[in-house]
Amino acid sequence: MDISVIIPVFDRRATLPRAIDSVLAQHHPAREIIVVDDGSTDGVESLISSRYPDCIFIQQSNHGVSHARNRGIEAARSDWIALLDSDDEWLPGKLAAQVAKIQRSPGVLFCHTEEIWIRNGKRVNAMKKHAKAGGHIFRRCLPLCVISPSSALLHRSLFDRYGLFDESLPACEDYDLWLRICAHEPVAFVETPQIIKYGGHADQLSRRHWGMDRFRIQALEKIIVSGQLHEGDRQAAIQTLIDKAAILAQGARKRGKQQRAEYYSALQHHYAIQQTNPS
């Protein structure tokens, strides 16, 4: 089973070797590693040319992680695409475990895995809300992103069917794509941890953007108005949007952001009416 690995990177020369080395150490070798440099200024190009000349290296001006991943996906030559963030790491059996799981799951085109979290150098336990699962997990995906990009292995036909990462979203682009896919497709899940996610560093997107739920609301609105959801899933998505809008409105009021509070209150009211009068 041929697999192309996509690693987007922006100014992470320090952690990129750990990510690449973890791909090279896989028991099931990847066909190719595609590193997409999203406008780095810290010498990523020289690192790749000197230490990893066999990697496919794509450079672009800074357009964000979604654009970088999309460039890599479009350049990939394999039917299966694995994603890896430049600050994360795979365990050696990751791809082999996913290949075995997919081979035991006919028709399944998407597989993710359990993970280990490291925050500020220390292992931490994930909260219950971050619990992973397989099967038809659309409603589990609604509150927050429950699939880590670094654990995702997808058949490229899913991108043809449901689209690529939304480049208009500065964050929660993975949440958006998983909603679109999981509304229709079952997901295979490897229950043993196969990736290590590192957090706590200053350049994480969650630290750069306030109110991450505002991006999740955008994703929810997109899929609600798409007309692609079964009514039960549509109602669940609307309720999630209402809950998130209420929280953002309350937070805006506390901070004296009246215009923002009014916007999210109006959004909450609009979808409450839709929930009362389903289409």
Return the minimum-mean-pLDDT range out of 43-57, 108-122, 175-189, 190-204: 190-204
pLDDT of residue 201: 56
Return the minimum-mean-pLDDT range out of 64-73, 142-151, 193-202: 193-202
| Whole-number percent of the chain with pLDDT over 90 | 89
Q: Are 54 and 63 in contact (CB under 8 A)?
A: no
How many of the other CB atoms lie within 10 Å of CB of 182?
A: 23
Q: pTM for this one?
A: 0.93
Segment holding 58, helix H or strand E: strand 56-60
Residues 163 and 55 in one domain: yes
Total domain count, the chain: 2
Residues 201 and 247 in one domain: no
Residues 272 and 248 in one domain: yes
Vertex 156: Cα angle to 169 and 185 (nearest 5): 80
> Where is pLDDT greater, at 112 or 279?
112
Residues 183 and 249 in one domain: no
Whichever domain contains 73, its CATH number is 3.90.550.10
Residues 175 and 53 in one domain: yes
Residue 217 CA to residue 234 CA, distance in Å, equals 14
pLDDT at 209 over 60: no
Q: Give the structural domain span for 259.
A: 213-276
How many of the other CB atoms lie within 10 Å of CB of 223?
A: 20
Residues 178 and 265 in one domain: no
Name the β-bridge partners of 195: 90, 115
Q: What are the tokens at 122?
A: 């220390």
Residues 83 and 111 in one domain: yes
With 0-12 / 13-18 / 19 or more C-beta atoms within 10 angstroms meaning exposed / middle / buried, residue 243 is middle
pLDDT of residue 38: 97
Q: Is residue 279 very low, low, confident or very high in pLDDT (cuts 50, 70, 90)?
A: low
Final residue in a domain of this structure, among 208, 233, 268: 208
Residues 155 and 180 in one domain: yes
Residues 197 and 242 in one domain: no
Q: Is residue 31 very low, low, confident or very high in pLDDT (cuts 50, 70, 90)?
A: very high
Final residue in a domain of this structure, among 208, 233, 252: 208
Axis-axis angle for helices 258-276, 231-254 (nearest 10): 160
Residues 135 and 264 in one domain: no
Residues 219 and 119 in one domain: no
